[in-house]
Structure 1
Amino acid sequence: MSYESKHTFASLPQMERGVSKVLGRDPKGNNFLYANGKTVIIRNIDNPSIADIYTEHAQQVTVACYAPSGFYIASGDVSGKIRIWDTTQKEHLLKYEYQPFSGKIRDIAWTEDSKRMAVVGEGREKFGAVFLWDSGSSVGELAGHSKSINSVDLKPSRPYRLISGSDDMTVAFSEGPPFKFKFTLKDHTRFVNCVRFSPDGNRFAAAGADGLIIICDGKTGEKISALGGEKAHNGGVYAVSWSPDSSQLISASGDKTVKLWDVSTGTAVTTFNMGNDVMDQQLGCLWQKDHLISVSLSGNINYLDKNNPDKPLRVIKGHSKSVHCVTVHKIDGKSIIFSASHDGHINILSFVLTHLLGLPNV
């Protein structure tokens, strides 16, 4: 008897308290990415019930990032391996595999021509590398830090610039290619968790565990302003994501809020209150098309509503750890899936599955 996959029920991101979660952006606007265990999850942004899974890593995956062309995804794991694989075919064939350093990969960035990559993390001898995607040849050095690098980004237009944020509480600014370290920004007093260029490349934002979000000139690296004045959030800021027109950004914080900022005035336009429980801390965010998304410490994926900041448009729930058992029951004529996992949760898929998936009536 042959079997055919009908539907994939994707897991949530695997979260860790105090560690930012990077959400990968599809340049075509259709999907977003995140990691859980040894897999990369690809979900449709408009209909997150549509999902695909990449399972070829031997170690726990930490981050995944689309190439600007949209044809490839680069994913990194805790051992320091980078796998670059195809997005156009169902098999996701491997194109290249590299190990730029030994240690956990924390972030990945591409130049806009999809030819160069920057990779950072917790290396033993070095904390980052910049290389050609199709040969692994170095195109400069990623220097200026004395501790692990948490975040990296590349200016999406020429002249290219590289920024990185580290546990040493600094942001390093480099010019290239070949990339050479120019100077460090020392405005933060705690770990720098996230650095991101605006889509037009004119500015970049640096967010830290001290609650600060610094806005700088994208070409020169000079500080322009600090969002919210002295502090942007009452807790650490773990992620920022720019609007497509580069005029606004959203920030995710451990104070259990997400804020929408007008960058030109440095003021918060909207504050999304995500709850009062420790699991409501916000560790990741993404602005893609008209969707504003955040990720809670619980792993829940929240679609934010500008018109009702206290209630998300939808909350995507699921399992974040291994599923131990699954059963199907028929209740009031509907086939319902119950699943239980190592995270202590029992999930109920409460929509009609008999016709959708061809499941038997149990």
Structure 2
Amino acid sequence: MSNVTIFYEKSPVLCIGEEQPKNCFTELQVLKGHFDIVRFLVQIDDFRFASAGDDGLVLVWSVETGERLQELRGHSQQITAISTVSCGDGFTSLITASSDRSLSLWDPDTGNRVQTISDLQSSVKCLLVLERLSVWLSGGEELCVW
């Protein structure tokens, strides 16, 4: 079982003993939901973030409470990249890539998969959204502009 842990900064004390740095963060809560390694965390807005990893799941969480808000299922293998994309009117979508050689566009409010691009030539390893140009890029064996 893999967990997501939220840390918050506490005091500004920097050192204890012989130049040993003091951990200035306190673990507040361990968020449970993934059953394999979490590799990615991405901020959706001021109140939510998403986690993704080797279990093929994307989980949407409340920053304030740690509550799991959505579970996005659809990839059959590990998530290899995740990014957010603004769709106008303050709405943000999630884009995920997977070793199953597919890309998915998700609505984090409902948990619904809006669109899927499948049967890619290879696994996508990275994503970049260029908001101003209204395009996004995926990289793996090929570099694609969408």
Superposition TM-score, scaled by structure 2 size: 0.78
Q: For each residue in 1:296-349, what CA deviation from the matched residue of structure 2 results, as whole angstroms up to 9, or x when unmatched?
A: 2x2x22112xxxxxxxxxxxxxxxxxxxxxxxxxxxxxxxxxxxxxxxxxxxxx
1:221-260 aligned within 5 A: 221-227=66-72, 231-244=73-86, 245-260=90-105
Distance 2:9 2:65 in 1: 12
Q: For each residue in 1:170-227, what CA deviation from the matched residue of structure 2 results, as whole angstroms up to 9, or x when unmatched?
A: 21111235532112122111111101112x3221000011110000012222211101
Q: Verify the 8 A CA contact 2:85 2:129 in the aligned structure 1.
A: yes
SS of structure 1 residue aligned to 2:81: strand
Q: For each residue in 1:271-290, what CA deviation from the matched residue of structure 2 results, as whole angstroms up to 9, or x when unmatched?
A: 11252x5xx11122122301
1:186 is matched with which residue: 32, 39, 42? 32
1:264 is matched with which residue: 101, 109, 118? 109
Distance 2:60 2:145 in 1: 25
Q: Which has the higher contact order (CA 8 A, sep 6+)?
A: 2
Residue 273 (str. 1) matches residue 118 (str. 2): yes
Aligned to 1:173: 6
SS of structure 1 residue aligned to 2:138: strand
Bigger radius of gyration, 1 or 2? 1
Percent identity for Structure 1 against Structure 2? 28
Shift of the alpha carbon at 1:247?
Answer: 2.5
Moved over 6 A (4+): none
- Where structure 2 has 5 or more consecutive residues not aligned to the other structure, the ranges are 12-24
SS of structure 1 residue aligned to 2:33: coil
Residue 219 (str. 1) matches residue 64 (str. 2): yes
Give aligned pairs, total. 128
Residue 302 (str. 1) matches residue 144 (str. 2): yes
- Where structure 1 has 5 or more consecutive residues not aligned to the other structure, the ranges are 1-167, 305-362
SS of structure 1 residue aligned to 2:34: coil
Residue 239 and residue 191 in structure 1: after superposition, are their counterparts in 2 closer, same or farther (change >3 A)?
same
Shift of the alpha carbon at 1:239?
Answer: 1.9
Residue 210 and residue 261 in structure 1: after superposition, are their counterparts in 2 closer, same or farther (change >3 A)?
same
Distance 1:218 1:295 in 2: 30
Superposition TM-score, scaled by structure 1 size: 0.33
Residue 287 (str. 1) matches residue 132 (str. 2): no
Q: More strand per residue: 1 or 2?
A: 2
SS of structure 2 residue aligned to 1:170: strand
Shift of the alpha carbon at 1:261?
Answer: 0.7
SS of structure 2 residue aligned to 1:190: coil
Residue 206 and residue 226 in structure 1: after superposition, are their counterparts in 2 closer, same or farther (change >3 A)?
same
Distance 1:271 1:203 in 2: 23
Q: Verify the 8 A CA contact 1:173 1:182 in the aligned structure 2.
A: yes
